[in-house]
Copies of this chain bind each other. A is one copy, B any other.
Amino acid sequence: MSTDDTRDAIMVATYEALCEEGYSDLTAQSIADRTDRSKSALFYHYDSREALVADFIEYLIEGFDARVERTREQPPLERLAAFVDWFLADPDDDELAFHTAFLELRAQAPYNDVYREKLRESDDILRTVVEDILRDGIDAGVFRAHDPESVSALLLASFDGARIRQFTLGRDEYLETVRAETVDRVLADVLAADVEFPDEASFEFPRDDRLVDDDGTTDTADSDGTTNAADDDETTDAESDTENTASNAEGDPTE
């Protein structure tokens, strides 16, 4: 098995262990148990649990980059709508498990410089994605002139706060209300005069195929790094997944 395959196997096992056990209870043993490797083999690849978790965040970032790449040819307004839908989708049980574990991990960042550095990298990428969409929309004339950096920061803070309040409190209305108010009060301000924000995006923000199967479930046997998404839907071609099943089981993609 190649080094890439080994990393994939460890990363998928880490994802599963996080979903099933949370971050606090995550051990090298629980990760090793989900691979055909021993705990000591794990430490051949990673010096510490911290190094492994940091590489896991890096792995999510790489996956997120690849997923964003698949949406680049779509029009900016549709990309923004797909991003909003993806971020504020009501999580299923698997997604909730990962959101929860990832929030535990994020809560360690103030104590942990390695995590903090990786999460900053992830924040940079997430902000850049939204900024690029906003900038492309200004160029295309669908958005008015505005400061994409500031609006991107506001959108991410609102969506992140809504999602954290939703799943820690079990209050779905945060997702719906914040989406509606953001469209009415923030995006209405940003959209050009004759442009309306779509009620529903025309495509689904791609899932991380390395971690989640077509049916939204996790399955290590298939998670070998290859893409197994069905690309047979005419409206989206090879650009994106089209299944109606939950797509963001990886949750906070890069954070």
Contact A170 B104 (CB under 8 A): no
Annotate A148-188 by CB proximity to B: 1 below 8 A, 0 otherwise: 01110110111111101101111101100110111001100
**Further contacts, 20 of them, CB under 8 A, given A116-B170, A158-B158:** A96-B110, A103-B107, A109-B169, A110-B168, A116-B168, A119-B168, A119-B169, A123-B171, A150-B180, A151-B181, A151-B185, A153-B177, A154-B177, A154-B181, A154-B185, A157-B159, A160-B164, A160-B165, A161-B161, A164-B164
Distance between A53 CB and nearest chain B CB, rounded to angstroms: 15
* A137 in the interface (beta carbon within 8 A): no
Distance between A178 CB and nearest chain B CB, rounded to angstroms: 5
Of the candidates B107, B111, B178, B189, the one whose C-beta lies within 8 Å of that of A157 is B178
Contact B162 A174 (CB under 8 A): no
Of the candidates B96, B109, B165, B171, the one whose C-beta lies within 8 Å of that of A168 is B109
**Copies of the protein in its oligomer:** 2
Q: A153-B174, A177-B154 are in contact. Are A110 and B167 (CB under 8 A)?
A: yes
* A14 in the interface (beta carbon within 8 A): no
